[in-house]
């Protein structure tokens, strides 16, 4: 099981270039979504994405706060400072997708949590960690 690559939404490139997304100063979160979600390339507002994992079992609606970091000059790597971790408690946490979105705003990018694709489940007492690619981070701007 390997997670798929992070995919920018159709509008994310424009929002990065026009400053709507300011990766190192805006507030971002990562949320988990079910296989029945409408999350995809055409997603815009986080509020319009359906079928987020329900509140409970160690998951809070809206997901976990993350801090984006930038490194490099010629090629700029965008990464997550600390990968979010959810611990299942009182039942499982099951998700198909993870999405990074600007709080109060739009979805920046999303990924399949298993490239099969299949649901990923953390059973009671276990953790689900969404880690960015070790060498490429969430994305590289070159």
Per-residue pLDDT tens digits for 103-130: 999 999 999 999 888 999 999 999 999 9
CA distances to 55, 75, 106, 122 from 63, rounded to whole Å, are 9, 29, 14, 15
Domain positions in the chain are 7-134
pLDDT digit string (tens) for the chain, length 142 residues: 568 889 999 999 999 999 999 998 999 999 999 999 999 999 999 999 999 999 999 999 999 999 999 999 999 999 999 999 999 999 999 999 999 999 999 999 999 999 888 999 999 999 999 988 877 889 998 8
Q: Are residues 89 and 101 in contact, defined by beta-carbon separation less than 8 angstroms?
A: no
Q: What is the pLDDT of residue 29?
A: 98
CA R_g for the chain: 14
Q: What is the pLDDT of residue 22?
A: 94
Q: What is the pLDDT of residue 2?
A: 66
Q: What is the pLDDT of residue 20?
A: 93
């Amino acid at each position: 099981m390997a997670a798929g690559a992070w995919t920018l939404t159709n509008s994310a490139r424009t929002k990065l270039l026009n400053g709507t997304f300011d990766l190192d100063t805006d507030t971002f979160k990562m949320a988990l979504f079910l296989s029945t979600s409408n999350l995809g390339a055409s997603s815009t507002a986080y509020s319009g994405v359906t079928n987020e994992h329900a509140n409970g079992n160690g998951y809070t609606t809206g997901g976990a706060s993350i801090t984006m970091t930038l490194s490099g000059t010629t090629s700029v790597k965008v990464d997550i400072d600390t990968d979010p971790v959810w611990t299942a408690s009182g039942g499982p946490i099951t998700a198909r997708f993870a999405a990074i979105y600007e709080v109060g705003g739009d979805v920046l990018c999303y990924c399949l949590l298993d490239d099969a694709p299949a649901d990923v489940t953390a059973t009671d007492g276990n953790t689900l960690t969404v880690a960015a690619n070790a060498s490429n981070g969430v994305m590289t701007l070159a």
